Homo-oligomer: A and B are copies of this chain.
Amino acid sequence: MTHDTNEHARAAMGLVVGTTETATIEGISAAGADPEAMAHTPAADAELIAYGDVLEAPAVPVSPSGCPTPALVTRAVRDLVGFDLVTIDAGLGVETAAPTVSLGDRAGNDIRKPTAVPDAASLWERGRRYGRRLPADRLVLAESVPGGTTTALAVSEALGVDLSVSSSLPENPIDRKRAVVTAALATSGYSPGELAGQPREALAAVGDPVLAVLAGTAAGALESETDLLLAGGTQQLAVVGLLRAAGIDQPVSVATTPFIAEDPSANVREAAERLGVEVLVTDPGFDRESGTVFERYRAGEAKEGAGMGGALATAAREDVSMERVRTRIATRYEHL
């Protein structure tokens, strides 16, 4: 594997995890069977990818209809490729048995409060310092934060970046999200686009701790010329919007799944073009399989998250066939 054939090129995934009260707003996220379970989703994702199973977390996250977390796919790829993993805690709010680098220590507030992330600037800076020093040759930055697409939308609105967002629900509750975002900007006292060029202020007003750490870590990794791949959907486009707002103009790639790339409610390709982002889509070929996981994803659930698109891109890069990935996903799913 990579370690052996090329001892110097180390691929690593940085999984940034955290929570925001925003996730508890009814109807905006499917990242957990219910609000109680959702609070544990990022920690459970981190444990699943680190160990192949949950330890402290009460259960492997599933949506209300039984669709398993995309972290299952990320872990299945890790079984095959063996990439290094660093879980970065941006503010989990619960105990976890996953090994973490702790950069934050509190959940984000509901973005409809005046301030969502009081320490956004410090989280960005801690991320930047960490990203700059991390000696990976290739870094895949991923995230797990329920409610994250809503905060991504809010931050982008504040920055004046046009970003339609995707959803972990098959029917994207986009009107619900827009209403939350409108309320969020109003209570923070900003009109759309008023925080153009002020990424830390936008994060503090209507962001979440994971976005702040992601953007900071990405900025640091780019500073030290690490080969960077942002893994995810619209949240990672929001990260690019934040980087651009900070005056960072380097080329950036986003790896995502076809479930996001082809989501008609979120025009990822157009938004990516505006931001000067290369979008890497890896098709895992779920249409060739039957079984709950493959069917739920085909029906538009979950779609992406917890590094799924980045893991699939890594598998493709390491010449691991998608057939092997699918077989491994099925085995992992049965095991649960």
- Could you tell me which A residues sit within 8 Å of B by CB distance? 1-4, 7, 10, 50-53, 55, 78-82, 86-87, 97-101, 130, 133-136, 328
A82 and B135 contact, CB distance less than 8 A:
no
Q: A3-B79, A3-B82, A100-B101 are in contact. List 4 more A-B contacts (CB 8 A).
A: A2-B82, A4-B82, A55-B130, A99-B100
Partner pick for A3 among B81, B99, B100, B133, CB 8 A cutoff: B81
Known: A82-B1, A87-B99, A99-B99. A55 touches B7 (CB 8 A): no
| CB-based nearest B residue for A76 | B7
Main secondary structure of the interface of A (DSSP, over half): mixed
The one of B78, B98, B130 in contact with A101, judged by C-beta atoms closer than 8 angstroms, is B98
With a cutoff of 8 Å between Cβ atoms, the chain B residues found around residue A87 in the complex are 99
Name the residue of chain B whose CB is nearest to the CB of A10. Answer: B52
**Chain B residues within an 8 Å CB radius of A4:** 1, 80, 82
What's the least CB distance linking A100 to chain B, in Å? 6
Closest chain B residue to A133, Cβ basis: B55
Chain B residues closer than 8 Å to A81, beta-carbon distance: 3
- Complex: how many Å from CA A290 to CA B52? 42
Give 20 pairs: A residue, B residue, CB < 8 Å, sorted on A. A1-B4, A1-B82, A3-B78, A3-B79, A3-B80, A4-B80, A7-B328, A10-B52, A51-B135, A52-B135, A53-B135, A86-B99, A97-B101, A97-B130, A97-B133, A98-B101, A99-B99, A99-B100, A100-B100, A100-B101
Tell me which residues across on chain B come within 8 A of A51, comparing CB atoms: 134-136
Closest to A12 in B: B51
A130: chain B residues at CB < 8 Å are 55, 97
